[in-house]
Amino acid sequence: MKATAGTMTDPSRHRLRSLLVLSLLLCGACQDHVQSPDIWTVESMHKDVGLSGGHQLECAGCHAGVGFKGAAGNCAGCHLSLYEQTTQPDHTLLGYPEQCAECHEIDAWQPAFIAHDTLGFALEGALARVFCSGCHADNVFGPLPSDCWSCHETDFVAVADPGHVALQLSHQCTDCHDTAAWTPATFDHDSTDFALTGSHIETACVDCHTPAVLAAAPTDCWSCHELDFDAALDPSHVALQLSPACAECHDTEAWAPATFAHDSTEFALTGAHIETACVDCHTPAVLAEAPTDCWSCHEVDFNKSSEPGHVALQLSQDCTECHDTEAWTPSSFDHGLTEFALTGAHIETACADCHTPAIVDEVPTDCWSCHELDFNKSELPGHVALQLSQECAECHDTAAWAPASFDHGLTAFALTGAHIETACVDCHTPSVLGQVPTDCVACHEVDEPVNHFGPACIACHTTAAWEPSTFNHERLFPLSRGNHSRYRNDCGSCHLVPADYAIFTCTDCHDNEHTRTRTDGRHRGVRNYIYESAACYQCHPAGRE
């Protein structure tokens, strides 16, 4: 058939039809554009459905057959067929929402990211890394049980270290494990009646929770440590019948050192007893309760002691009277508690010097009993020759024999001046035993020179020294003027008796001037007048008329 004028060929009719369809598709968009020119952009036209990730497609990928305005704005509008075809998991069977964005993101279908927290079972630790099919097997995506046992029964049964089945452990995995990993186990033993401390912390579970001791292991020491108890030899727990309660001597840190609190008994350990080995007291012969008296342990020490000889001296068998627990020596006997406190040199004196075998038990407290030999051999002064007192304390103290400390001030003759340094034997000579006379001439007769004044040395001398003499003639009778001055150095002119200077004469010098007749005549009427030198001195003490 040929075409005629006014008629349209087939291709022309096809183009016209396409333009008509396009105009119909665009009319709505054009109308929107005329009304709001600013929204005519690709981005503005896709505000509800972003064009990023997997949505970066050719327009026809979404708008084919539905026009540019009729494309669906929700996931199911485009992806419903995929939703219905999915079997892992089966979205239709499980009734999953058709809003894909709840589990998928725009970049890709995988991985899906369902918010498990909203389902009442949060995925944490290793659970977050498990594929959905790891739990939701065989398209079972409905609500699953949330207890550990339902998923981990196989793991529980397979565990051999420790054997969960054999030990009848709890099926609640969270009692010992967390979601991070199976190991290390995180069971909090402190939440039980038996908190783990010391070496127990590192002890393997199966060492206590053995197949023979299922589930709840006993908490007493003996149940686990009977073999350790039986094997102990230092000390031998079995032989000594020690307590099976290990905690009385040990702690959980280690078996040694033992930590038995002896202070909790009636015999607290002090001094050297602290380091003493248990078996030294708790011997097989002395089981369990050892005696607390010294003698029971130290009889041998007592018997072999020779300095002093405890047996020979019959000393007390109560060691604490002389010793403490620090050491045997030095002895710590407090002599101050007795009637004879030790002072001075007595403190360092060996016990055996006083407590000799000849003097058993009670030693006399008088000086003579111990110091008779010292008294007898003393020569300076000779105690025996001078018949000195046998009471040593009168001249000596306990510090030392010399210097002697006799207090002469307590006698009738206190020592002053040169007498203080005078040796005892200078006065207490063998010829003057016992009480020494206190007059000067008794000691100083040999010191008195010829023509001296008399035996009363103290009239002219002091105890400080013989010279200078303290006699003052001017005070008694002036010789500094008149004719008397000629006799100042001629004592014998007036003192005619050399042995006694208290005797003097006036008349012998004044015989020419004062004859008896003339003197008597001049003293007529003078009461109690006597022609005698002493009388002259009484009336004329200064030598004047």
pLDDT tens, position by position, 17-50: 554 444 544 455 555 555 555 555 677 777 777 7
Kind and range of the H or E run holding 254: none
230, 237 contact by CB (below 8 A)? yes
**Residue 16: what pLDDT?**
54
**Residue 7: what pLDDT?**
42
Q: Give the Cα-Cα-Cα angle 305, 308, 312 (nearest 5 degrees).
A: 80
**Residue 156: what pLDDT?**
94
Q: How confident is the model at residue 59 (pLDDT cuts 50, 70, 90)?
A: confident
- The alpha-carbon radius of gyration of the chain (Å, integer) is 67
Torsion sign, CA atoms 11, 16, 22, 25 = negative
Higher pLDDT, 390 or 498: 390
Q: Which pair of structure tokens corresponds to residue 509? A: 């010098």
Quick one: DSSP state of residue 126? G
In the 3-class helix/strand/coil scheme, how is 52-117 assigned residue by residue?
A: CHHHCCCCHHHHCCCCCCCCCCCHHHHHHHHHHHCECCEHHHHCCCCCHHHCCCCCCCCCCCCCHH
d(CA 169, CA 166): 8
Residue 224 has pLDDT above 50, yes or no: yes
CB atoms within 10 A of CB 177: 19
d(CA 170, CA 174): 9
pLDDT tens, position by position, 447-468: 766 556 667 788 788 899 888 8
**Residue 158: what pLDDT?**
94
d(CA 437, CA 58): 154
Kind and range of the H or E run holding 33: helix 10-35
**Residue 76: what pLDDT?**
84
The CA-atom distances, in angstroms, between 291 and each of 249, 265, 278, 297, 396 are 19, 12, 13, 8, 48
380 Cβ contact list (under 8 Å, min separation 6): 423, 425
pLDDT tens, position by position, 334-383: 788 888 899 999 988 888 788 877 765 678 889 999 999 999 998 877 88
d(CA 73, CA 82): 16
276 Cβ contact list (under 8 Å, min separation 6): 269
pLDDT tens, position by position, 500-525: 777 888 888 877 777 888 888 889 88
425, 386 contact by CB (below 8 A)? yes
State phi, psi for 282 to the nearest 5 degrees: -90, 70
Percent helix, percent strand, percent coil in the chain, to nearest 5: 40, 0, 60
42, 83 contact by CB (below 8 A)? no
End-to-end CA distance of the chain: 216
CB atoms within 10 A of CB 145: 10
For every residue of 181-226, DSSP letters joined together read -SSS----GGGSSS---GGGGGS-HHHHS-TTS-SS---SHHHHHH
